[in-house]
């Protein structure tokens, strides 16, 4: 699932590296609380373009399909901006759509394998880490996050996903990677509020 391909490296690098990288848009969220290595967030709704790909060279094939859509392989030929993060959950790969779009204004993908999907407002637990996008790294931090949530008595309500924010040309020790897990908001304690964090990421 997490194996890097040459195509994925070149593609993400061309998009996320360079002088405009700091301007890349992310989904809006509010930091609810944090304890230890776990941060709890409340995400506003956003839209993703998603494709399901399995088997050999899944990264390369998924990125080719999604990149094609945002670079004009759609019914209007519109070219859209890349955002962050790139989301991976199992065999599903997703690009986040810019907030200026709605389901009514997004162009329709020409390739029927690319699907537009609303992600509803949700509360999640997040573990941030640096390092390479390897299966081993993903599994280690996924397990650590789930262990922490179990110890905190927080109810997990969905499958973990990997969020990647940087170019593969970013040194591994400077990369921002996150494991994101949906949780039941009623099981989240908000007493450890992060006072020095921006309340909402715009």
- Is the pTM higher than 0.85? The answer reads no
**Is the residue at 97 inside a domain?**
yes
Catalogue the long-range contacts made by 63-67 (C-beta closer than 8 Å, 24 or more residues apart).
63/5, 63/7, 63/8, 63/11, 63/12, 63/93, 64/7, 64/11, 65/111, 65/113, 65/114, 66/93, 66/94, 66/95, 66/114, 67/11
Please report the pLDDT score of residue 177 as a whole number.
96
Please report the pLDDT score of residue 57 as a whole number.
82
Q: How many Å apart are CA 196 and CA 59, to the nearest integer?
A: 37
Give me the CATH number covering residue 114. 3.20.80.10
Q: How many Å apart are CA 39 and CA 37, to the nearest integer?
A: 7
**Is the residue at 1 inside a domain?**
no
* 26 close to 84: Cβ distance less than 8 angstroms: yes
Please report the pLDDT score of residue 58 as a whole number.
85
Please report the pLDDT score of residue 191 as a whole number.
59
Could you report the per-residue pLDDT of 22-37, keeping only the tens digit for each? 468 999 999 999 999 9
Give the range of the structural domain holding residue 172, as residue numbers without chain letter: 6-201
DSSP state of 107: P
| Residues of the chain predicted below pLDDT 70 | 1-23, 191-202
Please report the pLDDT score of residue 168 as a whole number.
72
Give residues with Cβ within 8 angstroms of 194, minimum separation 6: 31, 33, 34, 39
Q: Read out DSSP for 14-47?
A: HHHSSTTGGG-----EEEEEEETTEEEEEEPPEE
Structurally, how many domains does the chain consist of?
1
């Amino acid at each position: 699932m997490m194996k890097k391909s040459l195509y994925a490296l070149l593609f993400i690098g061309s998009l996320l590296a360079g002088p405009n990288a700091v301007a890349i848009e992310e989904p809006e969220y509010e930091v609810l609380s944090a304890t230890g290595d776990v941060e709890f967030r409340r995400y506003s709704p956003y839209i993703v373009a998603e494709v399901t790909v399995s088997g050999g060279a899944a990264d390369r094939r998924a990125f080719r399909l999604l990149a094609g859509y945002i670079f004009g392989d759609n019914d209007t030929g519109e070219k859209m901006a890349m955002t962050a993060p790139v989301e991976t959950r199992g065999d599903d790969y997703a690009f986040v759509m810019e907030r200026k779009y709605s389901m009514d204004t997004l162009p329709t993908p020409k390739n029927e394998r690319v699907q537009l999907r609303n992600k509803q407002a949700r509360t999640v637990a997040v573990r941030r880490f640096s390092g390479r996008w390897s299966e081993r790294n993903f599994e280690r931090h996924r397990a650590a996050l789930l262990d922490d949530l179990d110890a905190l008595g927080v109810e997990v309500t969905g499958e973990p996903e990997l969020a990647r924010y940087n170019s593969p040309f970013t040194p591994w020790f400077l990369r921002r990677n996150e494991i994101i897990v949906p949780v039941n908001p009623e099981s989240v304690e908000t007493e450890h509020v992060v006072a020095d964090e921006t309340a909402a990421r715009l």
